[in-house]
Structure 1
């Protein structure tokens, strides 16, 4: 392993993070809670950005198959795009509107500066990984992504012909002059700025032109084997545009051609209090999403400074928002090579998820006892089968489900449509504001409504992120509720790549709780009291705090006290302070946090009993599990919610208990103890903000949590 993320700047030693006293408390002379000291908190955005260094480390790990390493590189690039579109854009919004700093005490302007500095380091590392490691190694393995200077005469002829026949007809170059001002540039689109010399047919003197690559063009072009001599030879569209751009300007001299790409704010803001129809308002917002405020400019590193300045002025960007690129500006598009190259020897070995017995009779199977599914190691087919059987079963009267992300051509949507056509009462809560899936979810809502499904577009002001399915079935003279609750989306694709838990149960209390939540979502119901489930924004936050406090009291009374929690991110200040208090009381706390974590572990006297680790491996770690020791009578919840402010306070989420002791033991063993033993894909968060790779020792053999589950559960 030769990739170690560069340490983040320690907040404790940074004078910019001096103790911040809230104005109202200082004015009244109140004592400030020492657990609110900004030095005890990492910045969420910078912590999230650092996660991508851990992803990039997978791309540089020689133990990972070569094409998988390419995939990790592309994931780190795509993640960085989304980071600028959402997280950096949110910080810019805070700066513009004077929103005060968060718990870390760092002002938005300073956060933006640190974001750009740290992102520059990440971009440099990404392109060094591409140019110095992956591209040469892929070339040696027979997968060649050919740069311009490597094209031979035969390849060049074919590429020029292909350009003239397949690409040139769809291009519309725009010369910049008083009649042709700088055009609108679509978010993350590929563009070429061309420097010209000479006059065109109208006598206009050329200077600059913009060539935009339409979305319809593939970003990676495969050269036929009979032309190139190799079965897996590719070129970037950006290289072809730069090489043959002279075909667009006959009679003029091309002095230079430089690719560039702008990343824009993609956070949609709909004033939900002022709209009568959220779906219509969102459709209007989507039209302009690709042209919102610019956040970052990527441009070829050899581009002249005066052209860069021209672009920065047009995009209203500061100097530190430009990233000079030693390679294609859309490096993430090389992911297409992963799918185009059929080389099993360069990819992870295929596996077959474990099948559920008696899945052809799901109601009978669940009536025997709860079913726990651990994806991707357990097949997602039982969930699909449950919905399919519900759609066809004459005894099923009603189906209710939440949909956050479903994927293209979702079999679940098709079964819900069929259920409605079969006379079932079907209600679906479609969350329109699932980021980057808004347009797809609008289409899902339209399709369901056309089939007679009652579609509810969530709750104003709160995203519906809970994963719930409720089936009401007549059995004799009684109605019985069957429920599926999950930590992940109803998306067949992600269930093969994300780690998640799903519980299928006929427990009456859980069924009644889920029914109450659906009625609350679809109607105008008052606050409800749930027996088994925790629900955000009402009881989940308070329930977590109460259980942390209970462990604190156990520790103070000299009883065993332990907390283990696994999630994607952690930043909710009250939860962090409660964990600090628990640590001070002696509670042993292990947190498995994949991405952003604002809690600072290992601070003497504050968090020296807290350990934080991040797992980055073959599958995206996605399940959320909370375990509280409770003096030998542990509480265990799976949830759709991270310990983030938005999830605990501004979303519809659920936390559901695993009541069957054997299944609870499975969750503990597979998702907690197993991951705490990982010493091959685990990173430990240090008090200064660095993540250090955990390695096997002479006393601890190599252990990969994900590989152990593959070996145990799959074939």
Structure 2
């Protein structure tokens, strides 16, 4: 239990908290609702279906695996009071409902609708003779040469099955060339093979016709076992734990330790088994035993077990009318002289509506400017072939002092970040791996430039990563400023990260794990005090998730004092709103739309002197207490007003893509009242850049 929460506190009552894992799982039902929404272009609906499937994969790899770990090691229960075994059972029950809904959406809605639109994904039962001949030849020429089927016998035990890989279990009858009786064989599909195969127009008659690799394997698998009879072929996929556990206190070199861990990540403990719905029970039992899984961890699938792979169709089909209209992000003027532009005043970037270009230009021009002496930056996720990394490399080659804090433990980007670290070090960049035991999740850039006789600091702070790709698909805020006090704060944090500096006193920034948790609670409590005294009091905050009990308890106290609290929480929320006498003044909204809601913004009324912050941190226990995070104020009145309009007021008005969390844990999609105009926060922002 977190700081400030005691077992005898009535606000620590487990009935006041939802389970984090189950709340996170439910987010995918809201994503799936986008796939079912007929007002959304058809290929975008397909994309949302695939996102819900990919999210479910990651959920089992991380969240469910964490619960399993807690069960194995008798870890203390969460504030909701549920034992890990109970949570696991509920996860499997709820996930089964989600999987059923996903495949119903695919089989009954999207696949037929795509077919009517001329995008056909054929099942084996729909292949005509010409298509089957072409696919057989494709199997023999392109697929069979890279397959290595394995018959199971005492000399060939069950093979290692890679996480989320496509496999087929084959039931055989007869004897092979060595006189061995057939029973079961496993065919593993190498990841070099495309999971979606496009049929040539001359063969199929349509320019957008596809089949799944899994269907081709199942149809022609008999050619791998000549002289034997194939009695059945059933595709399956296993999802494994992907959480890397490196004891940082015990390793001398974190990079080497992570490389060792990554080599085995694909074969960690199994968490669920997806298998063809018609697979016989004895074979399912054999697989469950091999993977050491309980009966409720098997998901019988009515379709391809790797449904998320149909996302490739989105990229392969060039049909603009089936996708969202393209948009061009707003370009900031004057960035060809970025330092002069910042001299004229702070810059606010609201991605993806504002282009990411100014951030790239800031680093590029710093790398080339002879007056720039030093560049310091944090990198959590950067993307493949990052322009930022290349600019930093060039800066080092140009003689700048470049220091980069690379977070090697950024989940699923560990391998990429190891490569980034190597690339930077080869160029002479000083690479720091952060602080042992604390992921560096802060988004900070500091540039030191000589201007006359003085040194001046230029800073970029953000709510999202230095990743050009996510800047086009995630909603985030970035602030570029030359404010001396903010520059001093950021400088001190970098000194702390790269050295062994003591605790520091910052002027404007709040920092995890030192002052952010306390600072948030103090501001919530201040609003409660103002409300009790009859002064203006209100809280509006936007984030991706909330589960920190100390913050939640403070919000309950504020609600009891009469403070109106509006929380925009995209994903997991363990706070229970609408409880009479506790949280009846708290409203929780989840917005799901074209872009992934990602910015973290906190607004406090403060008796008519409002405080407005952007942050890298959600109100999660890990972010507030166990990571390096930054929370920064918007000091410029014009910028603060813009953030208030675009992120606070705009999202409060959303009545089309907003879902309100109820006291029972269900979400209700908001609809415009009879006298209200429909309002989508994201659509309003898109219209604004085009206006």
Q: TM-score, normalised by structure 1?
A: 0.96
The residue number in structure 2 matching 1:697 is 673
Conserved in 2, the CA contact under 8 Å of 1:568 and 1:624?
yes
Is 1:149 equivalent to 2:121 in the alignment?
Answer: no
Structure 2 matches for 1:383-402, cutoff 5 A? Answer: 383-402=359-378
Deviation at 1:714, TM superposition (A): 3.7
Is 1:488 equivalent to 2:464 in the alignment?
Answer: yes
SS across alignment from 1:697: coil
The residue number in structure 1 matching 2:521 is 545
SS across alignment from 1:550: helix
CA distance in 1, matches of 2:672, 2:501: 54
* Root-mean-square deviation over aligned CA pairs: 1.1
Deviations along 1:5-54, one digit per CA (max 9) or x if unpaired, are: xxxxxxxxxxxxxxxx99xx9xxxx9821101100000000000000000
Structure 2 matches for 1:122-521, cutoff 5 A? Answer: 122-521=98-497
SS across alignment from 1:612: strand
CA distance in 2, matches of 1:381, 1:157: 50
The runs of 5 or more residues in structure 1 that have no matched partner are 1-20
Deviations along 1:567-599, one digit per CA (max 9) or x if unpaired, are: 000000000000000000000100000000000
Is 1:642 equivalent to 2:642 in the alignment?
Answer: no
The runs of 5 or more residues in structure 2 that have no matched partner are none
Deviations along 1:123-164, one digit per CA (max 9) or x if unpaired, are: 000000000000000000000010000000000000000010
The residue number in structure 1 matching 2:684 is 708
The residue number in structure 1 matching 2:501 is 525
Deviations along 1:530-551, one digit per CA (max 9) or x if unpaired, are: 0010000000001000100110
Is 1:74 equivalent to 2:50 in the alignment?
Answer: yes
CA distance in 1, matches of 2:249, 2:500: 16
Deviation at 1:710, TM superposition (A): 0.3
Is 1:602 equivalent to 2:566 in the alignment?
Answer: no
Conserved in 2, the CA contact under 8 Å of 1:428 and 1:454?
yes
CA distance in 1, matches of 2:335, 2:121: 45
Deviation at 1:680, TM superposition (A): 0.6
Change (3 A) 1:31 1:451: closer
SS across alignment from 1:216: coil
- Counterpart of 1:590 (choices 562, 566, 570) is 566
SS across alignment from 2:338: helix
Deviations along 1:58-114, one digit per CA (max 9) or x if unpaired, are: 000000000000000000000000000000000000000111211100100000000
CA distance in 2, matches of 1:31, 1:84: 30
Deviations along 1:649-672, one digit per CA (max 9) or x if unpaired, are: 000000000000110011111011
Deviations along 1:226-247, one digit per CA (max 9) or x if unpaired, are: 1110000000000000000011
Structure 2 matches for 1:682-693, cutoff 5 A? Answer: 682-693=658-669
The residue number in structure 1 matching 2:25 is 49
- Counterpart of 1:95 (choices 47, 54, 71) is 71
Is 1:620 equivalent to 2:596 in the alignment?
Answer: yes
Conserved in 2, the CA contact under 8 Å of 1:189 and 1:213?
yes
The residue number in structure 2 matching 1:9 is none
The residue number in structure 1 matching 2:654 is 678
Is 1:569 equivalent to 2:545 in the alignment?
Answer: yes
Conserved in 2, the CA contact under 8 Å of 1:378 and 1:714?
no
CA distance in 1, matches of 2:537, 2:494: 36
SS across alignment from 2:348: strand
CA distance in 2, matches of 1:31, 1:649: 20
CA distance in 2, matches of 1:193, 1:471: 57
SS across alignment from 1:196: strand
CA distance in 2, matches of 1:160, 1:555: 73
- Give aligned pairs, total: 689
SS across alignment from 1:258: strand
Shift >3 Å, 4+ stretches: none
Conserved in 2, the CA contact under 8 Å of 1:552 and 1:581?
yes
SS across alignment from 1:260: strand
SS across alignment from 2:86: helix
Is 1:64 equivalent to 2:40 in the alignment?
Answer: yes
CA distance in 1, matches of 2:270, 2:648: 41
CA distance in 2, matches of 1:276, 1:503: 37
CA distance in 2, matches of 1:328, 1:668: 46
Conserved in 2, the CA contact under 8 Å of 1:377 and 1:714?
no
Deviation at 1:453, TM superposition (A): 0.3
CA distance in 2, matches of 1:31, 1:174: 55
CA distance in 2, matches of 1:402, 1:100: 33
CA distance in 1, matches of 2:99, 2:571: 19
Q: TM-score, normalised by structure 2?
A: 0.99
Deviation at 1:458, TM superposition (A): 1.0
